[in-house]
Chains A and B, each alone.
Chain A
Amino acid sequence: MGEKVLEVISLRVYYDLPQGTVRAVDDVSLDVRRREVIGIAGESGSGKSTLALAITGLLRPPAKVVSGKVLFNGVDILRLSEDELRRIRGRKIGVIFQDPNTYLNPIYTSGFQVAEVFEAHRGIHAKKYLNEVVKLFRLVKIADPERRVYAYPHQLSGGMKQRVLISMAIAERPDLIVADEPTSALDVTIQSEIMDLLAEIREETNTSIVMITHDLALLFEVADRVAIMYAGKLVELGRASDLIKDPLHPYTKALLSILRYERKKKLTSIPGSIPSLINPPPGCRFHPRCPYAFSKCSKIEPKAVNIDGRLVACHLVGGSE
């Protein structure tokens, strides 16, 4: 496959809190190739958003990068100055956040807020770019775009606002779009429309997409490869089709079996709960909830092994040691 747009190498991001250090992203490696949609899934609190913020250079205290690299087109964005980073954000990397209601500023029109992306990278006041925004709104299928550019966020529906945020992310045709749960605040009917839209945009603009969600069903529809995170660790990474057919990590298996039960309208969840990231369990972080755990799992942390281009971190898999 194509060249790497993004390469995350042994990244650790911790939150320094008075109660202790939260190891939200702990030694995660992953790469994204051109035109690829890579999905990241995992339960709430597994570190997905923290990873997204690190990729986009948007981490703010108390978050701190402890070690690792985030190479974007070969440049480590964690080492860039604030101004160098600013030139990349919005132009080379677009971000779509979870909740369209709070990520738009209520006091400016939607068109103006999108036009600000152009202002940021081409100079000249945002007002001059409203015509271009109309075109963008048409691209993201906002009806009546000539009028909607003058609409304030409170005059738009949730789905419409998310389309506005998407048009903002794609405005400068970035190489990479990071979408952190772009549909979870929306109605079910609108969720798949938005996902389809993102897939179309990928086709038209050749951008790569990092798609974060805990809705696995949606994810497997659009993603080329899927990464599964658990408690700050990446436990499995592989082609979506392989993962869904033959999950290797017990946590992936558990997530997928929930998905199948949900299809049959039976609600289940994995027994137990996600551990504290201040004092994570020793060894494999999943072992307290793992049905296959044995003594080694609570003592030694499994290393990720590569099986035919697929990464799995489990003692049961590929374990020659």
Chain B
Amino acid sequence: MSLARYLIRRVVQVIPTFVGALFFMFILVRVLPGDPARLIAGPEALEEDVRRIRELLGLNKPLYVQFVDYMVSILRGDLGTSLKFGTPVINEILNRLPYTIALALVAESIALSVALPLGIISALRPRSKATYISSVISLTGSSVPIFWIALIFIYIFSVSLRILPSSGADSPRHIVLPSITLSLLLMGNLTRITRSAVIESLSSNHVLTALAKGLKYRVILIRHVLKNALIPIVTIMGIQIGSLLGGAIVTETVFAWPGIGSLLIDSIFYRDYPLIQGIILFIVLVFIVINIVVDVIYALIDPRIRDVLWRTS
């Protein structure tokens, strides 16, 4: 009950942020050098044709009028028509979105399935190999640029060994290289945070109480060490959504993965205003939803947060 009220409050609160983000993006797209009307008209077009196309697209109106028009059409559920494809923007996005979701989920799963065990083991056994491996991963993950990793992967696995495809999305094998590349972007920080969260949790006084009760080691580890360590881990996962989406754009472009990241790059080259705006709107939405999900997860783990969030709603 109170969860529902909390969610409604959050959604209402986020509306100004959402509109603000859209406005900022709207202006940014239009101050980019380049003119879609001229691109559509072609290099040899007359000045008169360019002007007419601009009018047709509504680009001659004042900015604020354009923005209000845009907001009105969004409220009607209409994201406009792509200049490049001539199809509804929403269709283009929905065609590409599954690819990005698949890439992000696989990358996040790979990152988690390496970072969690590695972080936990290296926290429990400070002098083990796991500690060494996790510090190597932490370092490379945060210091090597992702496109460079992508190029090295392509060189090794596609060019030299010829065991994995380097571009496209025609088979399940195509997702291997882009998802591993993207996961490396997340893995370093995730491992580091997991390790420090578990170390901190281990040394907390309530673990001593759990020991004093005579609880089994395994129970103490799961209930009183790992569950408490989840809070910082969920936090970093929320923060990493930015890296994940940004990384997806780079990764999709390098591996020609047909998600909305590569679609965004294409639409920027084409100055496809409606498409750029539609994609960014989606990205902003994803951000907002994930932030709310993270807060709800916090509240589910920690009753103190639950009291604060629920009670004030």
Contacts and interface: CB of A to CB of B under 8 A. Distances in A.
30 contacts: A58-B211, A82-B217, A89-B213, A89-B214, A90-B213, A90-B215, A95-B209, A95-B212, A102-B205, A102-B206, A103-B209, A105-B209, A105-B223, A106-B302, A106-B303, A106-B304, A107-B228, A107-B303, A116-B215, A116-B219, A117-B214, A120-B214, A120-B215, A120-B219, A152-B303, A152-B304, A154-B303, A154-B304, A155-B307, A168-B213
Contact of B224 (A58, A97, A105): A105
A308 to B, nearest CB: 36
Interface in A157-185: 165, 168-169
Contacts of B224: 105
Contacts of B219: 116, 119-120
Contacts of B204: 102
Interface of A: 56, 58, 82, 86-91, 94-95, 97, 99, 102-108, 113, 116-117, 119-121, 152, 154-155, 165, 168-169
B208 A154 contact: no
Nearest to A92: B214
Which 6 pairs, one residue from A and one from B, show the smallest C-beta to C-beta distance? A90-B214, A105-B206, A90-B213, A95-B212, A89-B214, A102-B205
A87 to B, nearest CB: 6
A104 B210 CA distance: 9
A165 B214 contact: no
Nearest to A90: B214
Interface of B: 204-206, 208-217, 219, 223-224, 227-228, 301-304, 307
B208 A97 contact: yes
Nearest to B201: A105
B228 A97 contact: no
Nearest to B215: A120
B233 to A, nearest CB: 14
Contacts of A89: 211-214
Contact of B208 (A58, A86, A94, A152): A58
Contacts of A97: 205, 208-209, 212
Contacts of A119: 215, 219
Contact of B228 (A105, A120, A165): A105
A155 B302 CA distance: 13
Contacts of A106: 206, 228, 302-304
Contact of A104 (B209, B212, B227, B301): B209
A60 to B, nearest CB: 8
A300 to B, nearest CB: 39
A95 B219 CA distance: 19
A168 B208 CA distance: 13
A56 B214 contact: no
B117 to A, nearest CB: 22
A116 B303 contact: no
Nearest to B228: A107
Contacts of B215: 86, 90, 116, 119-120
Contact of B302 (A95, A107, A169): A107
Nearest to B202: A60
Contacts of A82: 217
A198 to B, nearest CB: 16
A56 B208 CA distance: 11
B205 A103 contact: yes
Contacts of B208: 58, 97, 103
A120 B302 CA distance: 24
Contacts of B206: 102-106
Nearest to B227: A107
Contacts of B227: 107
Contacts of A107: 227-228, 301-303
Contacts of B213: 89-90, 116-117, 120, 168
Given A105-B224, A116-B219, 8 more contacts: A82-B217, A86-B214, A104-B206, A105-B209, A106-B206, A120-B213, A120-B214, A152-B303
Contacts of B301: 107
A119 B215 CA distance: 8
Contacts of A168: 209, 213
Contacts of B304: 106, 152, 154
Q: Most chain-A CB neighbours within 10 Å: which of B204, B211, B213?
A: B213
A88 B205 contact: no
A215 to B, nearest CB: 21
Contacts of A86: 214-217
Nearest to A172: B214
A60 B2 CA distance: 43
A91 B214 CA distance: 7
A10 B224 CA distance: 35
A210 to B, nearest CB: 14
A223 B212 CA distance: 23
A116 B209 CA distance: 11
A58 B211 CA distance: 8
Contact of B216 (A104, A120, A152): A120
Nearest to B208: A58
B102 to A, nearest CB: 34
B302 A165 contact: no
A58 B208 CA distance: 8
B304 to A, nearest CB: 5
Nearest to B209: A103
B206 to A, nearest CB: 4
B199 to A, nearest CB: 13
A116 B224 CA distance: 11
A102 B60 CA distance: 65
A154 B206 CA distance: 14
